[in-house]
A and B are shown apart, each in its own frame.
Chain A
Amino acid sequence: MKYSIDPKVLKRRASRDKRFRTYAYTAILMAAAFLVFFFTDIITTALSAFKQAELLVEVHYVDEARKMGDYALDDDVSPLVSRGFTRLIPNQMREDRSLLGTAEEKWVLAEAEVDQYLKGKPNRLKKDERKIVDTMRAEGRARLAFNIGFFENGDSKLPEMAGIWAAAVGSMYALIITFLFSFPTGVMTAIYLEEFAPNNRIMQVIEVNINNLAAIPSILFGLLGLSIFINFFGVPRSSALAGGLTLALMTLPVIIISTRAAIRAVPDSIREGSLALGATRWQMVLTNVLPLSLPGILTGTIIGLAQAIGETAPLLIVGMMAYIPDAPTSFTSAATVLPAQIYTWSSDSLRAFTERTSAGIIVLLAVMLSMNAVAIYLRNKYETKW
């Protein structure tokens, strides 16, 4: 054909081929570039939140300080110190009467604006306050120390006091409920569908239904949780129980689908061998199929739970975004979870909360990544290739 040997056409085709190939690699590159940009952005904003400003101040336990903690500090530094510290002084003095009349020098938590100023970020400090902080810094009386409070405290209206402990505990509680409910139910469903289910209409409906369930937007699970669990069953609002159950229903399809895949991967020869030795179907499942598919089941479950721990929308609907400063003490007490905490901080107007949000995100991502790493480790170590 004349068309194919025309060198001009050939050249054009060759360059078009190359261009197409470049597009394909560019797409991957763009995704990778986004990942890099995204992580550097989050990490650079978050890093500063792991440091917190502290001031070395003189605390005088004078008589007036028993009513108002501010009196224990010099007038010029007292607005620079966190109210989270000063409001505790009266209590301390009531508990330890020997403090009265003494004075001590100690490092105390600084106000959020001082913290932002020391980190060189925009802040609302007045000019004279800046001067005081500058002299304190020059004298070595202001420092940025590791922010241990971030991991020990619950939520607070004061940015310098706010931490993720309460949210982390809340996430744990919710996750325990999610696991306890979705793991047995999911594994049982998968066993039934793979090993016992007759091939009839009901089973087809269940199968289509499970696939559909996996694709329903998460927020609709929140509506379900609100009207069924909370309004109908009377589960307390904002509780880890309500959130955990809602997440359990969302995680269920993930666990079912991965468990079925793991069970299906066990070759029939194993099943037949077991049956040939006189085992009943259930004995075969319990002693042969389940142990062999366990790594796959656990991998799927952990991945499902990692997804659940990052889920936010349905939890907002069941009320887990309320301001809850203390860690929950039971499954029915009001709780908040990590992603909901991130959401509340991110919608706060104070700038100091922005870096807390990023730090919270880092913690959340670290938890999720380690869960996924465990899952991958389990799969690589124990999964049998047939």
Chain B
Amino acid sequence: METGTIFLYLVCGLIPLAVVAYFLATRRTFSVKFEGEKFHSTPGSYGWYATICTLSPALLASFVAAVLQLTGVVEVPGTALVSTVIALAAGGLYVGVLTVKPSLRARAIVEQMVVKMLFVASLVSILTTIGIVLSVVFEAIRFFEIVSVWDFITGTSWSPDGVSAGDSDVKGMFGSIPLFAGTFMITAIAMLVAIPIGLFAAICTAEYASPTFRKIAKPALEILAGIPTVVYGFFAAITVSPLVVRAAEYVGLQADFTNALAPGLVMGVMIIPFVSSLSDDVITSVPNSLREGSLAMGAYHSETIKTVILPAALPGIISAFLLAVSRAVGETMIVVMAAGLRANLTWNPLEGMTTVTVRIVDALTGDQAFDSPETLSAYGLGLVLLVVTLVLNVISLVVIRRFRQQYE
């Protein structure tokens, strides 16, 4: 049987049984057998108690079967699985309904179960992180078995085309420096746009703007963060890139259509709200006494901002910058659509450059075999990306923690 059919059978079998269990158990609390006795919990609690008795062994069994199946230890036949699970549920129903009696503390049992379920749900986020780390690390290890770490870090040429699954001689084909150079260049351009505009926008909304202006300006800036990246990518490729080429021609320079400047500029615009809203938060959280003290000493508003408020808010602003950098490094669609595919080590932003994320997408959407070095290289690059963004996030977290202690 297919997984889908098994799933369907289980759902169709278990849900009616659970409903039956609930009703039988609630009915039982009204039975003449217990007349005159006082039940510990409400009838509903007994109903849920019986439902839990019905479902938990059945779900546990199917979970174990799924794990066994997936790890390949035992091949579980579908029919056997469905019948066992339904039988377990029926058994659970019988036991659950029979054990309903006045002295049973059904509510406590049900609530303990609920809290356990909530705890399990909160583990999902941990599992996601573990999943990301494991999936990236395992495949990255396979990649670094083929390509030495040293070549990967120090090589200056990335040309994985034509490397097939069996090839062992891949020296010099997976040098990641040009990719990092491209990522760095585009991120740097983006930050050159995002930091001044974002910071000044934050100063404007936090310090200068009237409440009404602030009410309009802040959501308007947030719109920039809400536009899907694929739309930015299209805009960068179709509108901004030709503009850059024409502007370069105008001043007598040669620019590629896949130049690094266009995606950098557009990415910078996308990141403005990250910088501005976080900076706005920290600037508004600077205590008013500092502001008033400076103004009372005769400083202009701008002097107050430059010499008192910004230094006080600096740790928060720095952490906002770091978060923005990590956002820019991991950004994918804009560069996939507007930056080049060819690894190119250059200082000229008008030439086509490629980035780490572009190569990941390219390696995984092509039609190579899953164990070819190029496909695996995506995981090697993914690992680097993961480490870089995590480090940036942790640093920004530490910086902001230090900052908070100052005013508490």
- Does B associate with A? yes
Q: Determine if B174 is an interface residue (Cβ-Cβ < 8 Å).
A: no
Across the interface, which residues of A come within 8 angstroms of B397, CB to CB?
A: 208, 211
Q: Determine if B149 is an interface residue (Cβ-Cβ < 8 Å).
A: no
* A192 and B119 contact, CB distance less than 8 A: yes
| A312 touching B323 in the complex, CB below 8 Å, given contacts A21-B208, A206-B122, A218-B330 | no
* A21 and B302 contact, CB distance less than 8 A: yes
* A192 and B223 contact, CB distance less than 8 A: no
Across the interface, which residues of A come within 8 angstroms of B203, CB to CB?
A: 24, 27
* A31 and B196 contact, CB distance less than 8 A: no
Complex formed: what's the CA distance from A332 to B364 in Å? 21
* B389 and A189 contact, CB distance less than 8 A: no
Q: Determine if B404 is an interface residue (Cβ-Cβ < 8 Å).
A: no
Q: Determine if B43 is an interface residue (Cβ-Cβ < 8 Å).
A: no
Which B residues, 103 to 129, have Cβ-Cβ distances below 8 Å to chain A? 107, 111, 114-115, 117-119, 121-126, 128-129
| A346 touching B337 in the complex, CB below 8 Å, given contacts A216-B386, A312-B229 | yes
Task: Name B118's contact: one of A31, A196, A215 (CB within 8 Å).
Answer: A196
Q: Determine if A92 is an interface residue (Cβ-Cβ < 8 Å).
A: no
Across the interface, which residues of A come within 8 angstroms of B199, CB to CB?
A: 27
Across the interface, which residues of B come within 8 angstroms of A226, CB to CB?
A: 135, 364
* B329 and A281 contact, CB distance less than 8 A: no
* A24 and B204 contact, CB distance less than 8 A: yes
Across the interface, which residues of B come within 8 angstroms of A354, CB to CB?
A: 238
Across the interface, which residues of B come within 8 angstroms of A211, CB to CB?
A: 393, 397
Complex formed: what's the CA distance from A234 to B2 in Å? 12
Q: Determine if A253 is an interface residue (Cβ-Cβ < 8 Å).
A: yes
Bits for A1-23, please: 1 = Cβ < 8 Å to B, else 0: 00010000000011011011101
Complex formed: what's the CA distance from A303 to B207 in Å? 28
Q: Determine if B315 is an interface residue (Cβ-Cβ < 8 Å).
A: no
Distance in angstroms from B352 CB to nearest chain A CB is 16
Which A residues, 349 to 379, have Cβ-Cβ distances below 8 Å to chain B? 354, 357-358, 361, 364-365, 368, 372
Which B residues, 187 to 242, have Cβ-Cβ distances below 8 Å to chain A? 196-201, 203-205, 207-209, 217, 220-221, 223-224, 226-231, 233-235, 237-239
| A216 touching B132 in the complex, CB below 8 Å, given contacts A20-B302, A41-B235 | yes
Complex formed: what's the CA distance from A68 to B215 in Å? 63
* A188 and B121 contact, CB distance less than 8 A: yes
Across the interface, which residues of B come within 8 angstroms of A343, CB to CB?
A: 230, 233, 333, 336-337
Complex formed: what's the CA distance from A234 to B124 in Å? 19
Distance in angstroms from B212 CB to nearest chain A CB is 13
Complex formed: what's the CA distance from A32 to B222 in Å? 11
The chain A residue sitting closest to B201, CB to CB, is A27
Across the interface, which residues of A come within 8 angstroms of B132, CB to CB?
A: 216, 220-221, 223-224
Q: How many residues of A contact B (CB 8 A)?
A: 88
* B303 and A17 contact, CB distance less than 8 A: yes
| A24 touching B207 in the complex, CB below 8 Å, given contacts A212-B393, A221-B132 | yes
| A227 touching B234 in the complex, CB below 8 Å, given contacts A4-B298, A215-B326, A217-B357 | no
Q: How many residues of B contact A (CB 8 A)?
A: 88
Q: Determine if B31 is an interface residue (Cβ-Cβ < 8 Å).
A: no
* B135 and A27 contact, CB distance less than 8 A: no
Across the interface, which residues of A come within 8 angstroms of B229, CB to CB?
A: 310-313
Q: Determine if B50 is an interface residue (Cβ-Cβ < 8 Å).
A: no
Q: Determine if A112 is an interface residue (Cβ-Cβ < 8 Å).
A: no
Q: Determine if B96 is an interface residue (Cβ-Cβ < 8 Å).
A: no
Across the interface, which residues of B come within 8 angstroms of A386, CB to CB?
A: none
Across the interface, which residues of A come within 8 angstroms of B223, CB to CB?
A: 35
Complex formed: what's the CA distance from A223 to B134 in Å? 10
Which A residues, 246 to 261, have Cβ-Cβ distances below 8 Å to chain B? 249, 252-253, 256
Distance in angstroms from A266 CB to nearest chain B CB is 17
* B226 and A215 contact, CB distance less than 8 A: no
The chain A residue sitting closest to B378, CB to CB, is A223
Q: Determine if A172 is an interface residue (Cβ-Cβ < 8 Å).
A: no
* A219 and B361 contact, CB distance less than 8 A: yes
* B118 and A191 contact, CB distance less than 8 A: yes
* B224 and A17 contact, CB distance less than 8 A: no
Complex formed: what's the CA distance from A31 to B364 in Å? 35
Bits for A163-186, please: 1 = Cβ < 8 Å to B, else 0: 000000000000000000000110
* A16 and B364 contact, CB distance less than 8 A: no
The chain A residue sitting closest to B337, CB to CB, is A346
Across the interface, which residues of B come within 8 angstroms of A192, CB to CB?
A: 115, 118-119, 121-122
* A281 and B111 contact, CB distance less than 8 A: yes
Distance in angstroms from A264 CB to nearest chain B CB is 16
Bits for A291-318, please: 1 = Cβ < 8 Å to B, else 0: 0000000000000001100111100110
The chain A residue sitting closest to B396, CB to CB, is A215
* B234 and A342 contact, CB distance less than 8 A: yes
* B238 and A364 contact, CB distance less than 8 A: no
| A32 touching B220 in the complex, CB below 8 Å, given contacts A219-B360, A343-B333, A347-B337 | yes
Across the interface, which residues of B come within 8 angstroms of A222, CB to CB?
A: 364
Bits for A258-286, please: 1 = Cβ < 8 Å to B, else 0: 00000000000000000000001110000
Q: Determine if A136 is an interface residue (Cβ-Cβ < 8 Å).
A: no
Across the interface, which residues of A come within 8 angstroms of B136, CB to CB?
A: 220, 223-224
Which A residues, 317 to 334, have Cβ-Cβ distances below 8 Å to chain B? 317, 319, 321, 332
Q: Give me 14 other A-B pairs in contact (C-beta within 8 A), A197-B122, A219-B385, A252-B125 excluded.
A: A25-B208, A192-B122, A212-B129, A213-B125, A216-B129, A217-B385, A222-B364, A249-B128, A307-B226, A342-B231, A342-B234, A343-B337, A346-B237, A346-B337
Query: Which residue numbers of A lie inside 8 Å of B, CB to CB?
Result: 4, 13-14, 16-17, 19-21, 23-28, 30-32, 34-35, 38, 41-42, 45, 184-185, 188-189, 191-193, 196-197, 205-206, 208-213, 215-224, 226-228, 231-234, 249, 252-253, 256, 280-282, 306-307, 310-313, 316-317, 319, 321, 332, 339, 342-343, 346-347, 354, 357-358, 361, 364-365, 368, 372
Smallest CB-CB A-B distances: 3 pairs: A217-B330, A310-B228, A27-B200
Q: List 11 A-B contacts (CB under 8 A).
A: A38-B235, A189-B121, A210-B125, A212-B129, A227-B139, A252-B124, A313-B229, A317-B360, A342-B234, A364-B228, A365-B227
